[in-house]
Structure 1
């Protein structure tokens, strides 16, 4: 038995028979989700509040003075209770560590509000979009959310631990902990090492990731890890050295997570089949059988989140979109993306599209009603001829739309423009003023 397996087996054997069975069930997707009633929630929230008052934590008091409604919000506190299976003492500790680390990594002015994309630097937004985090579209047989942390990207190899932690704050709290299934069932985390052989010898990626997991398990995020699968490709690295490094990372984790961790090594194909044996759906994985990233499905989870959270500010993402977003999703910079949400609206191809159609608005509106479709056909032809593609998410993949569908969208743009004709057109449509005055958003229907 290798060193890593000895650590994991020891952690499992040290549990009581009941806890050991729970851990094994969690790993093999037959665990139980959290059960709660209205009465239990009401009672535990009241006890949670009393425990918080007894704590008299200075960071918490700072947050209360800044924004009482934030830290006393029912849904905010319920995330921590559920992450700890309604263990009130642990939930309070979790929330206090969350606030304390938020102060450490983001500053005093961010303690009493959620972290936004605009709080992240361009480097951090780039890391978020690089594919390091991915939420699989399908869930496991138990209905749990499956999360990937992938390594090997150039940005991850160069980033500092605090950069990774700041990005993780946004991902784990804003995205993951807001999903009810995550609160009730926890997540299945898959750490998949894609680093180059020379970097794997230095253990750059797993070292950072295990450090992040240790940070998370110090109760910085209200997310419960139900199972952890660490996958490392073999064949180019001394297995003894690799095992020693993985074991060093595993020792950083708490016992209950060690008991739910499985270490897999082999070729990419072997690793993919191993994950299938643990109930991980294969069709919607972010990885191909050869271990490469599926660019067309990358960051779809972020598109969905942004579409559902229209209020979020995106200056950092806007400045980075042209250099990163197109690369990581398989979408070209000059593509026109259809859908809702500011992430779509700020795509460079969408900006070009709106500016082009705006300059031809008078030509379209002045044409007789029967001839407007002809004008729309001509404008669509010019757009496609200049290299722009009309793209839409279809069954979680970006697909190019046919010419007729593209013409319909161009016509819809002008109908929206006419509906807004009684408003300040420049204020609602002109995207070129972003650099001077901040983002100005066009109609949602593009």
Structure 2
């Protein structure tokens, strides 16, 4: 039985908590456990893909699509019109194998659900962006005038790095509440289309963060926030009655709402819980407290909190986002010439950059462990053996589908390295620098131990020098 929350209950924490609990209790125990573990990054529910599974699923999905179209009148007005229109176009992507695989991965290879989601997704593309969206993938120039300004403002951003489980992270800042519902949905579709461009992201899914930090609700002067579930926020629904949740083709693993512990944000939380619907409610996590408290809580879910694009006072950070937009436009302008651009590093990728640390990236942390495991062997090897060790590390990264990326300072983006001789040289330099810095750290520790007895001299404390281990694969040129 579905619990009904009355409008007057939005200020009642107990009623809202009961609604969340009842949603979870209606799930099977194994389903609840799977959601909890996947939200924490402990497991990934994506199925292991085989050629047989893919071939059979695509075949069954095609049959489901035809069945849905033949009975489209049963699914509400306008259902399937976009798909029918797209199939008659001379140029379209709707029949592409890779496009359909996105929906199969989103639904864990359920052909019936994938077919339904694809039709609803196309209906939304036609409604929001017009016929052009049936011919080509969404681009930044689909947004014009006020919409283009909203895209540049950065109140909705894909973070430049994945989380510790390799999932893309979409950050929403409170200022998006002042956008119209239609504009918000258009931005959602655009960012999810971008996030789902590679197979790894399709399998691992997306984490959404609604970040308010510890600042008050900042907005646009003279505007009223359109909180979901309030009269000022009219939901975007298809003529067939299907909601946005039915049309997004990304597997949303978790939705984290981060609010100050104040009355106004508890009311906002209540509206979100009611409006978000049962489909996503079971994956919602609410964090209250100071900025630091909320960051610590999210770190438990593997989220890179240092990348959240907002200051303590609520001002949006746009440096990384502006670089991302420039990169995005380069790829859109000439995909072939910019095929080596990497929009976001993968979980097992190794990053090389002249300045700044990349050890927070999971791939670089694993790379450092590889260097450490080869340290003694490398020290006791001749030049030929050292060369073989470097190649063995390259192969270790590649066997996990990892890539080697270097930072292009002119294009301000990551580039996929293809010159294997250059890759081996970078790895060899990383081993050399790691060994040198490890030795320096050991010498420093030995020095501090030997001078410990002399820290007090003449009644005065003597300041000891400290050397920070600056190792990072990103530091190597």
Aligned-pair CA distance for 1:165: 1.9
Q: Determine which of 29, 34, 39 is the counterpart of 1:27.
A: 39
Q: Equivalent residue for 1:177?
A: 196
Q: Equivalent residue for 2:21?
A: 9
Q: Determine which of 333, 336, 339 is the counterpart of 1:310.
A: 333
Counterparts of 1:196 and 1:247, CA distance in 2: 18
Aligned-pair CA distance for 1:94: 0.8
Aligned-pair CA distance for 1:72: 0.6
Aligned-pair CA distance for 1:32: 1.4
Deviations 1:374-420 (A, max 9, x none): xxxxxxxxxxxxxxxxx857799xxxxxxxxxxxxxxxxxxxxxxxx
Q: Equivalent residue for 2:104?
A: 81
Q: Equivalent residue for 1:42?
A: 55
Q: Equivalent residue for 1:167?
A: 187
SS at match of 1:71: coil
CA contact (8 A) 2:93 2:134 kept: no
Deviations 1:218-251 (A, max 9, x none): 322211100110112244xxx2x54343222222
SS at match of 1:39: helix
2:87 is aligned with 1:64: yes
CA contact (8 A) 2:105 2:202 kept: yes
SS at match of 1:72: coil
Could you tell me which runs of 5 or more consecutive residues in structure 2 were left unpaired when the two chains were aligned: 1-12, 70-79, 336-408, 415-477
CA contact (8 A) 1:3 1:247 kept: no
Q: Equivalent residue for 1:268?
A: 291
Counterparts of 1:233 and 1:205, CA distance in 2: 16
CA contact (8 A) 2:207 2:253 kept: yes
SS at match of 2:292: helix
Counterparts of 2:168 and 2:133, CA distance in 1: 28
CA contact (8 A) 2:174 2:218 kept: no
Q: 1:244 to 1:64 in 2, by over 3 A?
A: same
Counterparts of 1:393 and 1:58, CA distance in 2: 41
Aligned-pair CA distance for 1:209: 9.5
Aligned-pair CA distance for 1:18: 0.7
Higher mean alpha-carbon deviation, 127-136 vs 245-254, is at 245-254
After the TM superposition, which residues 289-304 of structure 1 pair with which residues of structure 2 at under 5 Å, given as runs?
291-304=314-327
Counterparts of 1:193 and 1:24, CA distance in 2: 23
Q: Determine which of 126, 144, 147 is the counterpart of 2:170.
A: 147
CA contact (8 A) 1:4 1:243 kept: no
Q: 1:92 to 1:27 in 2, by over 3 A?
A: same
Q: Determine which of 67, 72, 82 is the counterpart of 1:54.
A: 67
Higher mean alpha-carbon deviation, 74-83 vs 264-273, is at 264-273
Aligned-pair CA distance for 1:143: 1.5
Q: Equivalent residue for 1:98?
A: 121
After the TM superposition, which residues 179-258 of structure 1 pair with which residues of structure 2 at under 5 Å, given as runs?
179-193=198-212, 196-197=216-217, 204=226, 217-235=244-262, 239=263, 242-258=265-281
TM-score scaled to structure 2, two decimals?
0.58
Q: 1:295 to 1:126 in 2, by over 3 A?
A: same
Higher mean alpha-carbon deviation, 267-276 vs 97-106, is at 267-276
Aligned CA-pair RMSD: 3.2
SS at match of 2:305: coil
2:154 is aligned with 1:131: yes
Could you tell me which runs of 5 or more consecutive residues in structure 1 were left unpaired when the two chains were aligned: 313-390, 397-446
Q: Equivalent residue for 1:114?
A: 137
CA contact (8 A) 2:65 2:116 kept: no
Aligned-pair CA distance for 1:25: 0.6
TM-score scaled to structure 1, two decimals?
0.62
Q: 1:303 to 1:8 in 2, by over 3 A?
A: farther
The count of aligned residue pairs is: 310
Aligned-pair CA distance for 1:280: 1.3
After the TM superposition, which residues 345-364 of structure 1 pair with which residues of structure 2 at under 5 Å, given as runs?
none
